[in-house]
Structures are given as structure tokens and as C-alpha cells.
Amino acid sequence: MEIKPFEKKVYLSSPTMHGDELKFMQEAYETNWMSTVGANINESEKMIAEKIGCKDAVALSSGTAALHLAIKLAGERLYGQPRTGHGVLEGKKVFCSDMTFDATVNPVAYEGGEAVYIDTEADTWNMCPKALEKAFEIYPDVKLVVIAHLYGTPGKVDEIRKICDQHGALIVEDAAESLGATYKGKQTGIFGDYGIISFNGNKIITGSAGGMFLTNNIEDAHKVRKWSTQAREDAPWYQHEEIGYNYRMSNVIAGVVRGQIPHLEEHIAQKKAIYNRYKEGLKDLPVKMNPFDEANSEPNFWLSCLIIDKEAMCKQVRGEKDVLYVSEPGKSCPTQILEAIAAINAEGRPIWKPMHMQPIYRMNAFITVSGNGRARSNAYIKETGFTDVGADIFERGLCLPSDNKMTPQQQDVIIEVIKKCFE
């Protein structure tokens, strides 16, 4: 049977609007509150704080801006204010999730720090607690850990928190992809000493841009608001006593966020249905869906991903920008599947390339537990051919079209295309 391309592209994850977003944007326009103050900002901050369960949320221009100020705040708490022109983390090492988007870790470099990447664990595709323990053995003076919840799936928060507490380390929690996901009944974004979320255009709810800093410390919230508006002092003129940033969210973008927030649970339910349809439709193939800790966590299912069984991988070689593969009967690889999906006008994506494999960070330290007889078993290495989990997932995994406007019929076609890749 010939499979024809979709007339309208099926995206990986695109914005889903409902109507109230335009109403609140129009309100900002008609009242002339178009800048970084206004009712939309105030209301969206209040609504997010109530939904997540934190005392305050600060609306910023992006999730990256929120991460930068969270990391800066943690650095000042640990090491004091920096000299003018120097980052607060200058000369300090910071433990960071390895398999993530680089926005998670770039703010460490903004502040002069050096990221040390912690390997991923196979159970959730997030930071491996055992690798984190090993990292503290090697670098006992580290006092800051940056964790991310990959593709909307919570990591092993309790284990990571316990390890950090034992070493007196603070946690910055990047929940940019996991808004609405829970761990032991609590929302992600409030497990760290500082947390952030994102409203980028492809997130579970969106403002087209924007993010928020999350905290239970009102003084910290006030400081972040001050920094985000160029650190202006309370004076009748422009008085500046510390470095500031132009990071505040606009009232227009906040109008979109305000209109999206009531639909968060609806979007999560749609994304979960997509994940379950893939899981059922692909169950007879040598693949597995991205895993999560079913006993303790409930993802927001932002992106549905799969990983191909090792023995079902055809030959695939990746360079820095190019990739080659050799088609084999009964086998496939991420590149072949992504090409097949693209051929029917649908959008997939490779898994995030781990930070320790990125040219810009290749010289940074990377901590895995393989090869030391402790946690990454010889059986795992023999089975996968990899000594670190992140590189293995990157090699064998891919993100599937996960747009919540995709119909079940369209998803069925995508599933059939994937099946044909293994014929």
C-alpha cells in the first residue's frame, strides 16, 4: 500500500491556541500596557505559582534567562558577589546534566564556571545518581548541581537531593520541558533550591517565548525581578549598584501565557494519549518508548521518543554534521526512520546530543560509572557497546512527531511508516 505524504505538515510539537490568548494580548494593546509591566504579567505569575505550588514565580523573557539568573543567584549564595566584570562562578566547577539542550548548561559558562557533565541513567534518561556520587568523590568541593528533566520526564529527584544535601550542594532545577509533570505527587520545578520553566514555542504550553523563575523565597524573587530590569535601584533617577539584565517578560507575551495556563492539563492528556498510541502501535517492533519511573512519577509526555534495540540497529555512522547508514533487512536506525517520517511531511528529531560530545564542551570533564566495577555493569557495556548511557541513547534514539493536533489517523500512518523501516 502506497503511503502518501500529509497535505499539511505534522510537526514535532507546535503551539496550540485556544482563543483567550488573543483576548489578553488585545487587552494589553488596548490599555497600552505593551512593555514589561501589566496585568497579564501579574496574573500569569500568580497562576503559575498556584499551579506549581511555590510561593512566587518571576516572568522572564525566556527559560534561558531564568536559568541564568537562577545560576547567578545560586553562585552569589555560595560564593558572594563577584568582582565587576567577572562571573559569580569564576574558576568553579558545576555538575550538570549531560543529555539536555545546551541552554541548560550555557549559563554556567556565562558566569565563568566550568561544567562537569554527569552521565545519564537508562531508567529515566536523566542524571544518574550513581554517577553524581562518583563525581563528588572526584570533585568534593563542588557546591552546585544543575539538573534537567528530559522530554517532560522527571529524574530521580529524591536520590539526587539526598546526595546533594550530603555534600552541602545547591540544586538548580531545569523544568523547561516538564511543566505539569509530577514526582511523588509534587510538580517539577520546586525540588531544587531554584527552579525554572519555559514557554518557548514548542513547549507543552507557550507564550511564543518566555520563561519563569520559581522559588519559595520571596527575597530571591525580588532580587531576580530587580536583576531582570537592569538592576535599577529605588531612586528618582537611574541608579545602578550591580550588573543587571534586560530579561523581563513583556505584558504581550504574558497575555499568551495567561491564556494558555488553564489548558495545561488538557495538553498533557493529549500528549499522553499520543505516547500510549505509539507504545501500542509499535509494541511488535524491536523498539522501546522513552522510559519513566512509573512508581513515583507522572511525565507530561511532552515528546514521545523511541530507542531501537541494539541487535535491530543497522549500521549508522555520524560525523559532526553528516550521517551515513546502510539499510539492512529487519533492521533500522534513527536516521532512516527520521528520513522516512520526513518523506510523508512529518517532523521528528534526533535525541539531544549529550553535552560531553559537543565540540564546545568536549574538553570538559565527564563522569560516568562504567568501567569501575560499581554500577555500569559489564553486561550493559557488552550489550550496547557503549560505556556511557547518554551516547548510547543518542546513537539509538529519536523523537517522534508529538504534536497534540495530530489526529489518531495521522499517527497510525506514522506508525506504519516506522514499521516499514524494519521490513
Residue 83 scores a pLDDT above 80: no
Let me know whether 70 and 171 are in one domain. yes
Q: What is the CATH number of the domain that holds 274?
A: 3.90.1150.10
Give the global pTM: 0.95
Let me know whether 293 and 219 are in one domain. no
Let me know whether 168 and 270 are in one domain. no
Residue 377 scores a pLDDT above 50: no
| Spatial distance between the Cα atoms of 398 and 337, rounded to a whole number of angstroms | 9
Q: How confident is the model at residue 375 (pLDDT cuts 50, 70, 90)?
A: very low
Let me know whether 326 and 356 are in one domain. yes
**Of 202, 237, 263, which marks where a domain is finished?**
263
Let me know whether 218 and 351 are in one domain. no
| Spatial distance between the Cα atoms of 123 and 138, rounded to a whole number of angstroms | 24
Let me know whether 222 and 293 are in one domain. no
In a domain? residue 136: yes
Active-site hit among 130, 134, 203, 223: 203
In a domain? residue 324: yes
- The answer to whether 61 touches 209, Cβ cutoff 8 Å, is yes
**Of 263, 282, 306, which marks where a domain is finished?**
263
Residue 376 scores a pLDDT above 50: no
Q: What is the CATH number of the domain that holds 205?
A: 3.40.640.10
Residue 398 scores a pLDDT above 50: yes
- The answer to whether 398 touches 337, Cβ cutoff 8 Å, is yes
In a domain? residue 5: no
Residue 378 scores a pLDDT above 80: no
In a domain? residue 97: yes
Average model confidence (pLDDT) for the chain? Answer: 95
pLDDT for res 382: 55
In a domain? residue 416: yes
* Least trusted range by pLDDT, from 95-99, 198-202, 378-382: 378-382
* 81: helix, strand or coil: coil
Let me know whether 96 and 184 are in one domain. yes
**Of 234, 263, 292, which marks where a domain is finished?**
263
Let me know whether 330 and 190 are in one domain. no
In a domain? residue 166: yes
Summarised one tens digit per residue, pLDDT across range 222-276 is 999 999 999 999 999 999 999 999 999 999 999 999 999 999 999 999 999 999 9
Domains contained in the chain, number: 2
Q: What's the longest Cα–Cα distance across the chain?
A: 74
Let me know whether 233 and 381 are in one domain. no
Kindly write down the DSSP assignment for every residue of 232-263, as one continuous string.
Answer: B-SSSS--BSS---B-BPPHHHHHHHHHHGGG
- The answer to whether 172 touches 76, Cβ cutoff 8 Å, is no
pLDDT for res 383: 58
pLDDT for res 369: 85
In a domain? residue 14: no
| Domain hosting residue 308, numbered range | 264-360+372-421
In a domain? residue 13: no
Summarised one tens digit per residue, pLDDT across range 134-151 is 999 999 999 999 999 999
Known catalytic residue: 203?
A: yes
Let me know whether 273 and 342 are in one domain. yes
Let me know whether 114 and 210 are in one domain. yes
Let me know whether 231 and 273 are in one domain. no
